[in-house]
Structure 1
Amino acid sequence: MSEFRQTTLPNGLRIAAEIDSRAYSSSLGYFVHAGSRNEVDAESGLSHFLEHMMFKGTDRRSAADVNRELDELGGQGNAYTSEEQTVYYATVLPKFQDRLIDLLTDMMGPALDEGEFETERQVILEEIAKYEDQPPFGAFERSLEVYFGPRGLGRRVLGTSESIQSVTAQRMRAYFNRRYRPENIVLAATGNVDFDGLVAAAQEKTTTWSQRPNGGEPVADDPATVPVGIQLDRQLAIADASQAYLVRIGHGPSSGSDDRYAARALATLLGDDGGSRLFWELIDTGRAEVATLWPQEFTDTGAWFNYLVCAPDEMADNVKIFDDIMQGVVNNGVDQEELDQVINKAAAGCIMQSERSSSRLFSLGSRWLTHNEYVSIDDTLGKLRGLTVDAVSKAAQDYLTCDQTDILAQASGEVVSG
């Protein structure tokens, strides 16, 4: 059985661990409350840019040392940035726990070298350009920008070419000092973990974190303006695109909402790519390449996405089929047999994922960072198995009938029939 333990260090760093002595691996990660919604216009993209810079060396290690040591530990390590957090993590054999703590903690105090900063600026600009060249060509980002507004949850995680080109290393240092404070960070661990050793090492190695100079609050944005490089048109003209891409966004449950499990079940029932109502009507028949939907949860709110990809001249007809399927669930609810299949699939997936310490790490660390709450596998399975037809049908009423914003990406001059 797993054991949950947690503590808070004197400097404010929170530590949470789900310990399973039977596991063959240990996963550790720093979860930082620093995401695109925490930025102002002059900092747009800095959370993600900073994530890159954390691998570019410290006062004790060069960039080559960081990467070499990760290889020496034989583990799998990486990082990611979202709207609400930045995460640095790795999975190793339990005997390397102390070395991994030392490495990850050292990385959390980056050198932010000017030369590395300029080199990485070009890497980020190339990443933005590459992303904008790939389907659905920024339609998801545009939907968030239009729905939430171009700031806060609507701010692009990568930033824009304009914001990355104008940002300075000095501004990055100020952002780092403001957001990377111990009270904004959770150290999470899962698997075969020595919790007492973890706490002792973290306390020793993070002593100076609270002494970091306060970055100060940046100048607030003018809400009457639109950030440089941002457009709010609901149609994106894409040269030479052979398909049309429709993204719809509406209201969804937050990560703290009691009905988030019902909403997830509803999305699986309707939009799962391995067999669902949308799959059988639109994918299996060859009408569309993609037809799916899902909720995206944030700390205090959420979004509901519908996503349809097909030939431009078939978009209008496919949208009608899509809408008819949604309306059918709103009118008639779901049946027990469908729901049982969804529950069984979700429960099996949850159990299988829990066998990997890295999978549990993200659930544990994100939840503790945003809600200071532990949700065990048994808790999750209990919520899934407790779902009722009425609860999922109510989720359909709540989230499939809301006003939605449409973003359409297609070839320039293409006309969608209707």
Structure 2
Amino acid sequence: MSEFRTATLPNGLQVVADVDNRGYSAAIGYFVRAGARDETDAQSGLSHFLEHMMFKGTATRSAADVNRELDELGGQSNAYTSEEQTVYYAAVLPKYQRRMVDLLSDMMRPRLEEEDFAMERHVILEEIAKYEDQPPFGAFERAMECCYGPRGLGRRVLGTAESIESMHVDTMRDYFRTRYRPANMVLAASGNVDFDDLVDQASQSTADWNELPLPAPLPPDDDSQLPAGIALDPRLNIPDATQAYRVTLSGGPSMASADRFAMRLLASIIGDDGGSRLFWDLIDTGRAEVATMWPQEYADTGALFSYLVCTPDQMDANIRLMNDAIDFVVREGLKQAELDQVINRTVAGVIMSSERPAQRLFGLGSHWLCCREHLSTDDLLDSYRRVDIGQIETMARSYLCTDATEVIASAETAQTPDEPSLTP
């Protein structure tokens, strides 16, 4: 059986672990409350930019040393940035726990040299350009901006070319000193972990982390002006696109809401990428290449996305079919057999995912960072199994009947769909 353990270090760093000594590996990661919604206009894209810079060396390791040691320890290691957090993680054999904790902790105090900053700026700009050239051509970012506004939760994780071009290394250093403080971070671990040793080592490795001087607060953004490089037109003109891409965004339960389990099941029934109602109506029939729906949970709110990809001449008809499928669920509800099927599929997925410590790590660290709450695998399974038809119907009435933000990327932007809303 696994055991959940937690400790708070004198400097405020939270250490949490889902310990299961039956495992053959250990997963370890630092979760930092530093994401796009924490940035100002002058810092737009900085959380992600800083993620790159954390691999550029420390006071005791060069960039080559960091990457060489990550390779030497084997397993899997990486990092990612989202709207609400930045995560650095690795999965290793238990015998390498101390070496990996030492390495990750050292990486959390990077050099942030101006020469590295200037070089990595070009990498970030290339990443932005590459992303904008790929379908759906920034439609998801535009939907977030139109729904939440271009700041806060709607701010782009990568930033814009304009914000990255104008950024200064001192801006990054000040942001780092503000966000990468122990009370703003969680050290999480799962699998075959020696928790007592983890706490002892972290206590020593992070003892002086609060000695970072706090910079002066930045002036607030001018909300009367759009940030540089941002537009709020819900139609993206992509002259060379052969397909049309539609993204919608409406409300949903937050990461802390008990309703999130029913919402996940409802979205899976309607728009999972295999075996859902949208799959049979639009994908299996050849009407669309993609027709999906899924919820996204944030610390204080939630979102329900849908995504449709088809030829431009089929867009209007397919939107009607999607709306009809959603309207049918709201009006007629679901059969128990359909709910049982999706619960069984979801439970099986949770069980298989839980066999890998690295997969358990993400839920553990992210949820503790945002909510200071832990759900064991058994708790998670019970949460899905308890969902009944009444809860599903409540979710349908609460979230499928609201207005949705819609963005379409297409070469035919002059055409306006007959039914541009997700609302039935």
TM-score interval (norm. to shorter): over 0.9
Match of 1:285 in 2: 285
Pair 191,246 (structure 1): closer, same or farther in 2 beyond 3 Å: same
Per-residue deviation at 1:415?
A: 3.4
Contact 2:121-2:164 at 8 Å conserved across structures? yes
Q: List structure 1 segments (4+ residues) > 2 angstroms apart after TM superposition.
A: 412-418
Per-residue deviation at 1:413?
A: 5.4
> What are the Cα deviations for residues 295-346 of structure 1, in whole angstroms up to 9, with x where unaligned?
1110001111111110101100000000000000000111101100100000
SS at match of 2:126: helix
Question: Matched residues in 1 for 2:417 and 2:379: separation?
Answer: 48
> What are the Cα deviations for residues 269-298 of structure 1, in whole angstroms up to 9, with x where unaligned?
011112110000000000000001111110
Question: Matched residues in 2 for 1:113 and 1:150: separation?
Answer: 30
Match of 1:379 in 2: 379
Question: Matched residues in 1 for 2:150 and 2:270: separation?
Answer: 30
Question: Matched residues in 2 for 1:281 and 1:416: separation?
Answer: 23
Q: How does 1:256-295 map to 2 (within 5 A)?
A: 256-295=256-295
Match of 2:248 in 1: 248
Whether 2:106 is the aligned partner of 1:81: answer no
Contact 1:178-1:216 at 8 Å conserved across structures? no
Name the aligned partner's letter for residue 306 of structure 2.
Answer: N
Per-residue deviation at 1:416?
A: 5.8
Question: Matched residues in 2 for 1:216 and 1:14: separation?
Answer: 26
Report which stretch shifted further, 317-326 or 215-224. 215-224
Match of 1:185 in 2: 185
Question: Matched residues in 1 for 2:396 and 2:140: separation?
Answer: 22
Question: What runs of 5+ residues in structure 1 fail to find an aligned partner?
Answer: none
RMSD of the alignment, in Å? 0.9
Q: If the length of structure 1 is used for normalisation, what is the TM-score?
A: 0.99
Contact 1:20-1:190 at 8 Å conserved across structures? yes
Whether 2:136 is the aligned partner of 1:136: answer yes
Per-residue deviation at 1:394?
A: 1.1
Question: Matched residues in 1 for 2:228 and 2:341: separation?
Answer: 48
Match of 1:402 in 2: 402
Q: How does 1:15-164 map to 2 (within 5 A)?
A: 15-164=15-164
Question: Matched residues in 2 for 1:37 and 1:416: separation?
Answer: 31
Q: If the length of structure 2 is used for normalisation, what is the TM-score?
A: 0.97
Aligned residues: 418
SS at match of 1:74: coil
Question: Matched residues in 2 for 1:177 and 1:376: separation?
Answer: 33
Per-residue deviation at 1:162?
A: 0.2
Name the aligned partner's letter for residue 58 of structure 2.
Answer: T
Contact 1:312-1:416 at 8 Å conserved across structures? no
Question: Matched residues in 2 for 1:2 and 1:52: separation?
Answer: 34
Question: Matched residues in 1 for 2:94 and 2:53: separation?
Answer: 27
Contact 2:236-2:413 at 8 Å conserved across structures? no
Question: Matched residues in 2 for 1:203 and 1:413: separation?
Answer: 57
Per-residue deviation at 1:75?
A: 1.9
Whether 2:311 is the aligned partner of 1:311: answer yes
SS at match of 1:207: coil
Name the aligned partner's letter for residue 131 of structure 1.
Answer: Y
Pair 19,391 (structure 1): closer, same or farther in 2 beyond 3 Å: same
> What are the Cα deviations for residues 104-125 of structure 1, in whole angstroms up to 9, with x where unaligned?
0000000001111111000000
Per-residue deviation at 1:216?
A: 2.8
Contact 2:241-2:410 at 8 Å conserved across structures? yes
Whether 2:203 is the aligned partner of 1:203: answer yes
> What are the Cα deviations for residues 25-82 of structure 1, in whole angstroms up to 9, with x where unaligned?
0000000000000000000000000000000100100100000001110121000000
Match of 2:421 in 1: none
Question: Matched residues in 2 for 1:310 and 1:297: separation?
Answer: 27
Pair 417,221 (structure 1): closer, same or farther in 2 beyond 3 Å: closer
Contact 1:314-1:416 at 8 Å conserved across structures? no
Question: Matched residues in 2 for 1:122 and 1:417: separation?
Answer: 39
Contact 1:288-1:311 at 8 Å conserved across structures? yes
Name the aligned partner's letter for residue 16 of structure 2.
Answer: A
Per-residue deviation at 1:238?
A: 0.4
